[in-house]
Structure 1
Amino acid sequence: MPKWLLRISVTALLFSLVAGCSTASTDTTKPADGAQTVAEPAAAEPMVLNWSIPGEPPTLDPGIASDAPSMDMINLVFEGLTAVDRQGEMVNATAESFTQSPDFSHYVFTIRKDAKWSNGDPVTAHDFEYGIKRNLDPKTAADYAYQLFYIKGAEEYYTGKGSLDDVGIKATDDYTLEFTLRAPTPYFRELTSFTTYYPLHKKTLESNPDWANDAKTIVGNGPFVMDVWEHKAKMQFSKSPTYWDQANVKLDRIEIAMIEDPNTALSMFENGDLDWGGYPAFNLSPDAIGKLKEEGKIIVADNPGTRGVIFNTTKPPFTNKKIRQAFAYAIDRKEIIDGILQTGVAPAFGWSPVSMGLNPDGFFKEDPEKAKQLLAEGMQELGLKEFPKLTYYYDVGETDKKIAQALQDRWKHTLGIDMEIRTAEWKVYYADVLEGNYQFGIWLWGADFNDPINFLEMFKDKDGGNNVVRFDNQEYRELLNQSYYETDPEKRNKLMFDAEKILMEEMPVAPIHFRGNPYIKNDKVKDFVILPLGGSYFKYAYVEK
Structure 2
Amino acid sequence: MKKQNNLKISAIGVLIALTLAGCGSKKASQTEVVNMSTGTEITTLDSSKAIDDTSLTQISNFNEGLYRIGNKSKILPGIAKQVTESKNGKKYIFTLRKDAKWSNGDKVTAQDFVYAWQRTVNSKTASEFAYLYSGIHNADKISAEKASVKTLGIKATGKYKLIVTLDTPIPYFKLLMGFPSFFPQNQKVVEKYGSKYGSSSKDMVYDGPFIQKGWTGSNLSWKMIKNPNYWDKTSVKLTQMNFQVIKDTTTGLNLYNSKKLDETTLSGSQVAQYKNNKNFVSRKLAQTSYIEFNQSKNTVLKNKKIRQALSLAIDRDQLTGKVLADGSVSATGFVSSGLMTDLNNGKDFAAEASVPSGVSYNLQKAKKLMAEGLKEENKKTLTLDLLNNDSDVGKKASEFLQSDWEKLPGVKIALTNIPYKSFLTDEANKKFDLALSGWAADFSDPISFLQILTSDNAQNNGSWKNVAFDKAIEKADTTDATNPEKRFKDMIQAEKILMQDQGVAPIYQSTQAQLWNQNVKGLVHNSAGIYYDYKNLNVTK
TM-score (norm 2): 0.89
* d(CA) in 2 for partners of 1:288, 1:305: 21
Amino acid across the alignment from 1:480: I
1:315 matched to 2:297? The reply is yes
Please give the secondary structure, in 2, of the residue aligned with 1:466. coil
* d(CA) in 1 for partners of 2:201, 2:169: 40
* d(CA) in 1 for partners of 2:537, 2:435: 36
The residue that corresponds to 1:4 in the other structure is none
* d(CA) in 1 for partners of 2:71, 2:145: 42
* d(CA) in 1 for partners of 2:375, 2:183: 51
The residue that corresponds to 2:67 in the other structure is 82
The residue that corresponds to 2:285 in the other structure is 303
Q: List gaps (5 residues or longer) in structure 2.
A: 1-15, 341-347
1:480 matched to 2:476? The reply is no
**Mapping for residues 228-243 of structure 1, pairs under 5 Å:** 228-230=214-216, 231-243=218-230
Please give the secondary structure, in 1, of the residue aligned with 2:21. coil
2:328 touches 2:512 (CA, 8 Å); kept in 1? no
2:297 touches 2:431 (CA, 8 Å); kept in 1? no
State the Cα distance separating 1:415 from its structure 2 match: 4.8
* d(CA) in 2 for partners of 1:296, 1:48: 23
1:387-426, Cα deviation, whole Å (9 max, x unpaired):
2322212101222222222222222235552212220011
2:17 touches 2:262 (CA, 8 Å); kept in 1? no
Please give the secondary structure, in 2, of the residue aligned with 1:186. coil
- Of residues 365, 374, 380, the one that matches 1:370 is 365
1:332 matched to 2:325? The reply is no
Amino acid across the alignment from 1:227: K
**Mapping for residues 109-148 of structure 1, pairs under 5 Å:** 109-148=94-133
The residue that corresponds to 1:535 in the other structure is 531
**Mapping for residues 221-370 of structure 1, pairs under 5 Å:** 221-230=207-216, 231-278=218-265, 284-293=266-275, 298-316=280-298, 317-355=300-338, 356=340, 357-360=348-351, 362-365=354-357, 366=360, 367-370=362-365
- Of residues 202, 210, 216, the one that matches 1:216 is 202
Q: Aligned-pair RMSD on alpha carbons? A: 2.2
1:522 matched to 2:507? The reply is no
The residue that corresponds to 1:20 in the other structure is 21
Please give the secondary structure, in 1, of the residue aligned with 2:47. coil
* d(CA) in 1 for partners of 2:87, 2:261: 48
Distance change >3 Å, CA 513–CA 85, structure 1 → 2: closer
Please give the secondary structure, in 1, of the residue aligned with 2:406. helix
**Mapping for residues 180-199 of structure 1, pairs under 5 Å:** 180-199=165-184
Distance change >3 Å, CA 127–CA 59, structure 1 → 2: same
1:1-53, Cα deviation, whole Å (9 max, x unpaired):
xxxxxxxxxxxxxx9966132449xxxxxxxxxxxxxxxxx995521010011
* d(CA) in 2 for partners of 1:471, 1:172: 43
* d(CA) in 2 for partners of 1:162, 1:478: 23
Amino acid across the alignment from 2:261: L
Q: Sequence identity of aligned pairs in percent?
A: 32
* d(CA) in 2 for partners of 1:144, 1:257: 27
Distance change >3 Å, CA 387–CA 290, structure 1 → 2: farther
Distance change >3 Å, CA 208–CA 18, structure 1 → 2: closer
Amino acid across the alignment from 1:106: K
State the Cα distance separating 1:109 from its structure 2 match: 1.2
1:16 touches 1:525 (CA, 8 Å); kept in 2? no
Amino acid across the alignment from 1:541: L
* d(CA) in 2 for partners of 1:541, 1:237: 13
Please give the secondary structure, in 1, of the residue aligned with 2:459. coil
Please give the secondary structure, in 1, of the residue aligned with 2:383. coil
Distance change >3 Å, CA 84–CA 378, structure 1 → 2: same
2:18 touches 2:34 (CA, 8 Å); kept in 1? no
State the Cα distance separating 1:525 from its structure 2 match: 0.9
1:16 touches 1:528 (CA, 8 Å); kept in 2? no
State the Cα distance separating 1:86 from its structure 2 match: 6.5
1:92-146, Cα deviation, whole Å (9 max, x unpaired):
2111111212232211111111000110100011100110110000010111000
1:16 touches 1:524 (CA, 8 Å); kept in 2? no
State the Cα distance separating 1:359 from its structure 2 match: 4.3
The residue that corresponds to 2:135 in the other structure is 150
1:131-170, Cα deviation, whole Å (9 max, x unpaired):
0110000010111000011201101111012232332111
**Mapping for residues 19-58 of structure 1, pairs under 5 Å:** 19-23=20-24, 44-58=29-43
**Mapping for residues 438-457 of structure 1, pairs under 5 Å:** 438-457=432-451
* d(CA) in 2 for partners of 1:86, 1:477: 33
TM-score (norm 1): 0.88
Amino acid across the alignment from 2:307: R
**Residue correspondences, number:** 507
2:18 touches 2:36 (CA, 8 Å); kept in 1? no
State the Cα distance separating 1:318 from its structure 2 match: 1.5
State the Cα distance separating 1:294 from its structure 2 match: 6.4
2:18 touches 2:37 (CA, 8 Å); kept in 1? no
Report the structure number with the largest CA radius of gyration. 1
* d(CA) in 1 for partners of 2:121, 2:392: 37
1:18 touches 1:524 (CA, 8 Å); kept in 2? no
The residue that corresponds to 1:401 in the other structure is 395
* d(CA) in 2 for partners of 1:82, 1:130: 18
State the Cα distance separating 1:273 from its structure 2 match: 2.4
The residue that corresponds to 1:37 in the other structure is none
1:306 touches 1:348 (CA, 8 Å); kept in 2? yes
1:383 matched to 2:375? The reply is no
1:501 matched to 2:513? The reply is no
* d(CA) in 1 for partners of 2:33, 2:71: 19
State the Cα distance separating 1:459 from its structure 2 match: 1.0
* d(CA) in 2 for partners of 1:296, 1:121: 46
1:446-498, Cα deviation, whole Å (9 max, x unpaired):
11011111111101134x22112122222221221121121222221222222
State the Cα distance separating 1:192 from its structure 2 match: 0.4
1:422 matched to 2:416? The reply is yes
Amino acid across the alignment from 1:274: L
- Of residues 72, 79, 86, the one that matches 1:94 is 79
Please give the secondary structure, in 2, of the residue aligned with 1:229. coil
Amino acid across the alignment from 1:544: T
Q: List gaps (5 residues or longer) in structure 1.
A: 1-14, 25-41, 279-283
State the Cα distance separating 1:437 from its structure 2 match: 0.8
Question: Which deviates the most, 284-293 or 450-459?
Answer: 284-293
1:469 matched to 2:455? The reply is no
